Amino acid sequence: MGEDITILSQLPLSERGFPNAQRAPTSSQANLQQLCNHVFNHITTAKIMRVALRPPPINGYFPHRTDGTQFLYHYEPSHWWTSGFFPGTIWLLYERALCTDLSYSSDEILAQALKWQRGMEKEQYNKETHDLGFMILPAFYRHYKHFKSTTSKEIIINAGMSLASRWSEKVQCLRSWDTCLTKRFSFQDSNNDFLVIIDNMMNLELLYICAEMTGDDEFRRIATAHAHTTLQNHVRVDSSTYHLVNYNPETGEVKGRYTIQGYDDNSCWSRGQAWALYGYTTVYKYTKDKKFLKAANNCTRYFSNRR
């Protein structure tokens, strides 16, 4: 009697009789795996710790970016907007060390995290910037979460109060910059101009965390009102975003919309769009207001469709 011969290679994977058979990874999956392998590589630990163990060229300065030719870090003072990122990076490495063996122990990494964050403490009283979330949360909030540090909690709350000091009831926003000077325009009088950039969405979480820590809902009110005003005036109908909106500080009316780092005033700066989609996701996380979820989804869709 003749036998039916089945050629497995001509069957779909799901019908080949191998219960564990899986499809070959797509290019995007392969890229993700490659990225994960790179991020979790021990070389990454060595790179971070090598910088952490090396004293900065100037006391109180923090790694900002590398030189493209010599691969050396340029350092910036603590009031620079990215200075909180490196202490936060060491804290992320500490969290990884709690989960897996690294070339440095968790105690060794923790010592560096605590050392580097001390240089950021004074920024809790900085009332001249909107970037306090960037400066404070990456390190001090993790210190608080892991060890319930009352010192870090106090620093976070003080930073939230400093950020809230930039609030305008008339504009219903937090002031981003006091002044702005470019080759195209000059805003040098804070009594006439109230400058708000889309980047500010990234720092609202500091206020929500302060509301949770203190029970003072004023922090939450300010953050949510800022998000609402920004949704009205920074986000276009197609869910792209303006970089800078200038308000009349007395009336709250929009005086003009501009870009600083984008291509054109009416274009969409890609990093600013990322600030918006992340910022509105965060606001939804704390408010559960679906208009902010919708804004996050729409901003994300605009971003994803223009890769």
289 carries an active-site annotation: no
- Tokens representing 100 are 């897996």
* Backbone phi and psi for residue 155, each to the nearest 5 degrees, phi listed first: -60, -45
Which one of the listed residues 67, 101, 107, 131 is annotated catalytic?
Answer: 131
Question: Nearest-CA neighbor of 182 among 243, 270, 223, 249?
Answer: 243
Burial 240-279 (b: 16+ CB within 10 A, else e): bbbbbbbbebeebebeebbbbebeeeeebbeebbbbbbbb
Which one of the listed residues 199, 238, 264, 289 is annotated catalytic?
Answer: 199
265 carries an active-site annotation: no
**Do the Cβ atoms of 172 and 228 come closer than 8 Å?**
yes
119: Cβ–Cβ under 8 A, 6 or more apart, which residues? 60, 62, 78, 83, 87
**Do the Cβ atoms of 74 and 66 come closer than 8 Å?**
yes
Q: Partners of 168 in the beta sheet?
A: 173
Q: Name the residues annotated as catalytic.
A: 131, 199
